[in-house]
Amino acid sequence: MPALLMPADPPARTWIKFTEGMFYQLGLTVALNPWRTICTSVPIALLLFAGVFAPTSTYEARSEYLWVPQDSLAFETLNFVEETFTTSMFNTILCKPSKAAPRPFLSKATFDTLWEVDHEVRAIELADGRTFEDICVKVGPSCVRGGPLGFWASRQAYASSVGSDEDVRLAVSQSTYASGFPVSRPMTFGFYEEALDGSIASVPGGLLVYQINSDLVTQKDTEGWERAFLAVAGVKGAPSQPVLRQARPGIYLVPYGYRSLDAELTRIVTIDVPLVVVEYVVMFLFAAAVLSWRQPRTKALLALGCIASILLSTMAGYGVCAACGIPLTQLVFILPFILVGIGVDDGFMIVAAYRRLHYPKEAGEQPGVEKPLEGGGAVDGQDKSLPRVGSIAEAEFAAAERMARALAECGVSILYTTVTDCVAFSLGAAGSIPAIKYFCAYAAVAVALDFAFQVTLFVAVFTVDERRHAERGGSRAMPSKQGGPTEVEAEGTAEKAEKAAPRTPPAAAAAGSGGGSGSGGWLLPEYSWRRHVGLVTGPSGARAVLLLFAAFVAFNGWALTNLDNDFQPKQVTPDDSYCREYYAEASEVWLLPEYSWRRHVGLVTGPSGARAVLLLFAAFVAFNGWALTNLDNDFQPKQVTPDDSYCREYYAEASEVGLFWDRQFPYQVIFREVDWGSPQVQADALELLTQDLAQDTPRTRGPLDFWLQAFLPWAAARPELAQYLNAQGHFDAAQSEEARDAFQSGVQTFLTTTPNDRFRLDVALSTGASGASGGKGAVFACKASLYHFRVATSEDKAKAMSRAYETCEKSPFTTAKATPYSQPYIFITQFMVIAPETGTNLLLSITAVLLISFPVLQDARAVLAVLVGVAAVDVDLLGLMWVWGLDLNSITMISLVMAIGLVVDYLAHIAHYFVHGKSSGFQEASPRERMVCALEDVGGAVLIGGLTTLVGVMPLAFASSFIYRVFFSLFLTIVVLGLVHGFVVVPTLLVLGQDPGTQRAVLCLSAKGAPSNGDSDVEATGGALKKGGLWNETKEDS
């Protein structure tokens, strides 16, 4: 029976036969033209890589453009705020008592130091000579000053009013800053303590805040200013090599610039680049060692071709996506670690298939494997679709057929897993979180290109390597293009030459060797026996000899206790016996020669073993199913920064004193397209802010800072405006045109009068012919400030934001005209969408696996086994994330997407070979027999592929970023779970409960040169081999 194709061709197998034929044709073309393929593939890859230098190529490090759903209300509001209001670049310095020599924060000595720092910051000059006073956000003529120093208008005012620590304490107990802004004590001092009279008793620290008007500077201007700002607060060497050093006695300072997080995201890529180099070197050595196992010569060139194919596909993937305008990000640089595992696994599958196939010893001898009919053009054992070039030897063509058949055998399986990987990543690219979208887009393109380069470039390098070994006489596998002799021919030539050559007596050989007197005898003409005796009998030499002698005897005495009793039939056959080759080939499992897949299948599919597997499987999935219900959604900025980043210290220290957004943070209600001249609108807005939000909404409180709340009393004090106020004190601009003009002019005057000019930052006036409320100068948009508190967990933050949204949605404005907004909202939104988006993505991916698997496997049980394995691994991965204390966020979600692609690799190959095995008598064999054959065919390659992935991601364990180390932990889990399900769970599900089938002997590796006729049975072979091929299963065994 043919080993490559089934004897019957049902309609469902037509497309598989056609695909195998296409792979056969591709393999034959590449194997006959390897150098042409190499010289074409490499330039194409480099040309595609040039896309990273295209004008459309960008690098994105801004967190709000990476970790926030771009279709969310928070992101839309962010864009509106940036376009409408004066935007600020916040630069802060965390100040707290020194750990080495602590002193009270509310002391004159501490504030004197803070004023010195403030003076140095304000003296920083830009390249054009401007200082902070020229680029800051201003209220009137002065820069907005917040934080502990905001209680004084200037340093001179501080010096004239403060003479003791008590003066400092009383000054910071005021309810407003010197600029008129209300004071939020939690936001200013964190975990402060109050005295009985309501004044501040003590504070743990504070924040110096410097706001730069983004309309007055460019990014290039602020880069230099920010470096100098960080240096003033103790961070030297930013942004490439920032180091935080404390140089001011009595106080501890940690700065945080506007671009600090973005700069650290960029830096982490550069400092971990060496890990990629280490990874490829390690993978090359590992692949060379694996591919050279039990080979007559090392396979360094083959390993180099495999790694080079992966590297070129990665580079090409970067270029294609960058040229298409998909930004490069920090996460994209993890891609090489993923592709190494996938690419090397595909390469091993090709090599395994090649080594399984029988090789024709004579040039004209055809293998016992029928070539595919569909697409390959094979007729009567000859390929009629390809021209036969006279310079191409018959032996070379026959050897190229072996490469073509190998690719045809494993190509469908590799294509199956590649398509599944690409679909899983493509579905991830359809999500809403940009960082995940960009990563998945790069991964999908790179995986597809890796497949293309593996079946072309790697096959070409494989062919060249086989020819090189054949030319050196080290292999029979691939004759050279020059038509050099095969090993059989070479052996015959050598034998004839040996018979024809005259024999030379040993004495003549000794005489001709150059030996003379004192030569020491034949074969050792130059050796000095005198020196030898001196070495072994001298004091030091004798002790060394005795010591080594005793150690050697002791070792061998221990070793003989582990000696086995065994006998191999090949030991009594000549070295050149075909029997030896039969024994070796029939018992070999590629890369795992000593492992008994028969015993393995018997253990996991036998009655007791199957029950144990299913029980453990169900218990493990049930536990992890419970564990994932306790999984939290959270994201910490420190997770994306290097371990030595000053940003991590800032986050930790600010959180400790209550000044980070994990405790409380401000938010605003953005009003737009509202007619503020309507008294009803004014009443509704004040009720929403003062009652519904500030009092009745959990986790929201004042002090409220809203321009209308200050404008109405101001207007009531002016007769020209007071006449238009109704009985409730609201301005009625709708009663007449004069009233509307008075309202608009009154608002403009209000915003230019001290101290109300501070509201200019909160009110945007229309500049067009008509505004939302009609007319030029009308209030087009405005904002009111409130605070969220008691938001220590991600759940608290999500509830606070949701309740604010709900309150505004229930108001007459709805969220279309009154939208809560805060900078942390853009991250909190991720907490709310990540769980449903993860569930949707996993469901779609599993559905895609189902749709792809049915046409390929064409077996309901096999498809179900693959789906169960994939779903179980995802459930287990989620549960183990809770065990390890990880949260569900954008970072871990990417791993869940990758899990589907990687796990399918481990499950699909085994299921595919279980259903579509190529061995003699395979389809008539029992399920257990077929599983043994499937594992013997691809088990070693799949297992080594999993180990390769582990080796490939191992450098991530030494990365300087928490995010990369999380990827390593999840990769480790994915590979281990994938291999366990592939080699234990899936075999059990496929074999359990099926009809034992006919009692036929099956040669699982029949393509390697053993008998392949479909009528072989136990009697014809003289019994079943314990390893590798013939299986004599009785009813009791099954």
pLDDT tens column, 593-646: 445 777 888 888 888 888 888 899 889 889 988 888 887 777 677 777 777 888
Rounded Cα–Cα distance for residues 376 and 4 (Å): 13
**Would the pTM of this model clear 0.95, i.e. be above it?**
no
Where is average pLDDT lowest: 561-565, 688-692, 815-819? Answer: 561-565
Across 511-517, average pLDDT: 35
pLDDT grade for 579, boundaries at 50, 70 and 90 = low
pLDDT of residue 574: 64
Using alpha carbons, select from 226, 232, 222 the residue that is nearest to residue 253: 232
Q: Which residue has the higher pLDDT, 264 or 359?
A: 264
User: What confidence category does residue 41 fall into, taking pLDDT thresholds of 50, 70 and 90?
Assistant: very high
Rounded to the nearest 10 degrees, the angle between the axes of helix 890-915 and helix 860-883 is 150
Strand 382-383 relative to strand 779-788, pairing: unpaired
* Orientation angle between helical segments 927-953 and 335-356, nearest 10 degrees: 140
Environment class of 515 (CB within 10 Å of its CB; exposed 0-12, middle 13-18, buried 19+): middle
Residues 104-118, mean pLDDT to the nearest whole number: 91
Q: Which band of pLDDT confidence, cut at 50, 70 and 90, is reported for residue 319? A: very high
Q: How many helices (H) and strands (E) does the chain have?
A: 37, 16
CA distances from 209 to 92, 619, 703 (A): 5, 54, 19
Confidence of residue 564 (pLDDT cuts 50, 70, 90): low
**Does the pLDDT at position 372 exceed 70?**
no
Distances (CA, A) of 25 to 455, 651, 932: 12, 60, 30
910's CB contacts (< 8 A; 6+ apart) are: 934, 935, 938, 939, 942, 982, 983, 986, 987
Pairing of strands 818-821, 665-672: antiparallel
Lowest mean pLDDT, pick from 382-396, 563-577, 678-692: 382-396
pLDDT for 455 beyond 90: yes
Q: Is the pLDDT of residue 68 over 70?
A: yes
Mean pLDDT, residues 2-29 taken together: 70
φ and ψ of 1004, to 5 deg: -65, -30
Examine the pLDDT at 1037 and tell me if it is beyond 90. Answer: no
Average pLDDT over residues 174-179: 86
Q: Which range has the worst mean pLDDT, 21-25, 339-343, 995-999?
A: 995-999
pLDDT digits (tens, 9 = 90+) for 223-253: 889 899 999 988 988 888 888 888 788 888 9
| Section 516-539 average pLDDT | 50
More confident residue, 261 or 372: 261
Amino acid (1-letter code) at residue 475: S
| The pLDDT value given to residue 393 | 58
Answer yes or no: is pLDDT of 506 > 90.
no
**Residue 532: both structure tokens together:** 């030898």
The more confident residue out of 176 and 42 is 42
311, 421 Cβ separation under 8 angstroms: no
Greater confidence (328 vs 265) lies with: 328
Average pLDDT along the chain: 77
CB contact at 8 A, 706 and 784: yes
Per-residue pLDDT at 1024 exceeds 60: no
**Residues with Cβ < 8 Å from 716, sequence gap 6 or more?**
722, 725, 729
156 Cβ neighbours under 8 A, 6+ residues apart: none
Q: Does pLDDT of 513 surpass 90?
A: no
pLDDT band of residue 908 (cuts 50, 70, 90) is confident
What is the separation of C-alpha 66 from the centre of its chain, rounded to a whole number of angstroms? 15
The confidence band for 852, taking pLDDT boundaries of 50, 70 and 90, is: confident
* 172-176: long-range contacts, CB 8 A cutoff, minimum separation 24: 172/106, 172/148, 172/200, 172/203, 173/198, 173/199, 173/200, 175/703
In this prediction, residue 523 carries a pLDDT of 32
Pick the residue with more confidence: 688 or 555?
A: 688
The total of other beta-carbon atoms located within 10 Å of residue 1011's CB is 16
Residue 2's nearest CA partner among 394, 396, 366 is 366
C-alpha 703: how far from chain center: 44
pLDDT at residue 339 is higher than 60: yes
What pLDDT score was predicted for residue 534?
Answer: 66
pLDDT score recorded for residue 1026: 33
- pLDDT of amino acid 568: 56
Q: Which of 87-101, 526-540, 873-887, 965-979 has the lowest mean pLDDT?
A: 526-540
Q: Give me the pLDDT at residue 311, please.
A: 92
What pLDDT, on the 0 to 100 scale, is given for residue 357? Answer: 78
Share of the chain above pLDDT 70, in %: 78
- Ranges 207-211, 455-459, 686-690, 753-757: which has the least confidence: 753-757
pLDDT at 44 over 80: yes
pLDDT of res. 382: 41
Q: What is the DSSP string of 191-255?
A: S-EE-TTSSEEE-S-EEEEEEEETTS--HHHHHHHHHHHHHHTTEESTTTS-EE---STTEEEEE
Tell me the two tokens of residue 222: 């602020």
Residue 261 has pLDDT above 90, yes or no: no
Say if residue 745's pLDDT is above 70: yes
* Distance linking the first and last C-alpha atoms of the chain: 24
Q: What is the pLDDT of residues 922-937, one digit of tens each?
A: 667 788 888 888 888 8
> Of 34-43, 472-481, 938-947, where does mean pLDDT reach its minimum?
472-481
Report which of residues 967 and 29 the model is more confident about.
29
Give dist(CA 886, CA 963) in Å, integer: 11
Q: pLDDT tier at 214 (50, 70, 90 boundaries)?
A: confident
Instruction: Judge whether residue 500 has pLDDT over 50.
Output: no
